[in-house]
């Protein structure tokens, strides 16, 4: 008998979306285990481990239980790197329940066509993403780390359609990173680069998970 699909999972929880264009919306998060990049500035290093193997049915049961207490129209698959694992069965199950699915990814793996929303966050040193994300990404998020340069912002902006927003996300809401984000935005504006904006980590301001 064929075994049901499983995903190595860190946690499932209800909160609000703290970043990007969906800022402030009630969201159920499914955090998957493992990452292929392991950036030094990552704020979810606890997700680099192996996690716990869970069936799609088990994850769906927890999502439904959370939804009863914290109704949300969106579920966000995050990590780690969500696309390291075969997430298509989970996405299909979530959508069958009438939920919208956002996937947060570093962009190094090909997108799954079933997702409703892709947040792509290219990482140093090359800040490159799979070419299919040119059409699939709803937003591009750049962490304003010590590595990020004006040249990298320019390259990422030019790699995606003008309609796709590029968000400069201060690292951990640190003051130095916020100041750098402003400088990078000003430089991008001087270079004539459009649809670039500054973000924030709202969940950290409100003290939410």
Residue 49 placed within a domain: yes
Structural domain of 158: 6-206
Distance CA 28, CA 44 (A): 17
Residue 152 placed within a domain: yes
Q: What pLDDT does 74 receive?
A: 98
pLDDT band at 5 (very low <50, low <70, confident <90, very high): confident
Q: What are 145-172's pLDDT values in tens digits?
A: 999 999 999 999 999 999 999 999 999 9
pLDDT at 1 over 80: no
Q: What are 99-126's pLDDT values in tens digits?
A: 999 999 999 999 987 899 999 999 999 9
Residue 1 placed within a domain: no
The gap between the terminal CA atoms of the chain, to the nearest Å, is 39
Count of domains forming the chain? 1
- For helices 88-96 and 56-69, the axis angle rounded to 10 degrees is 40
- CATH number (domain holding residue 100): 3.20.20.70
pLDDT band at 23 (very low <50, low <70, confident <90, very high): very high
Residue 105 placed within a domain: yes
Coil, strand, or helix at residue 88?
Answer: helix
């Amino acid at each position: 008998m064929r075994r049901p699909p499983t995903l190595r999972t860190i946690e499932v929880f209800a909160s609000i979306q703290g970043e990007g264009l969906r800022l402030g919306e009630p969201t159920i998060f499914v955090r998957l285990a493992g990452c292929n990049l392991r950036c030094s500035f990552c704020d979810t290093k606890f997700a680099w481990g192996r996690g716990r193997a869970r069936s799609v049915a088990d994850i769906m049961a927890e999502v439904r239980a959370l939804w009863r207490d914290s109704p949300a129209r969106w579920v966000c698959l995050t990590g780690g790197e969500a696309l390291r694992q075969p997430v298509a069965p989970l996405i299909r199950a979530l959508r069958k329940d009438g939920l919208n699915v956002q996937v947060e990814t570093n962009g190094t793996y090909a997108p799954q066509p079933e997702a409703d929303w892709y947040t792509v966050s290219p990482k140093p040193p090359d800040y490159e993403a799979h070419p299919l994300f040119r059409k699939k990404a709803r937003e591009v998020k750049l962490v304003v780390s010590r590595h990020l340069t004006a040249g990298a912002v320019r390259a990422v902006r030019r790699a995606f359609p003008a309609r796709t927003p590029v968000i400069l996300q201060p690292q951990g809401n640190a003051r130095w990173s916020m100041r750098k984000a402003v400088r990078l935005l000003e430089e991008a504006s001087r270079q004539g680069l459009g649809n670039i904006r500054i973000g924030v980590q709202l969940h950290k301001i409100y003290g939410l998970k």
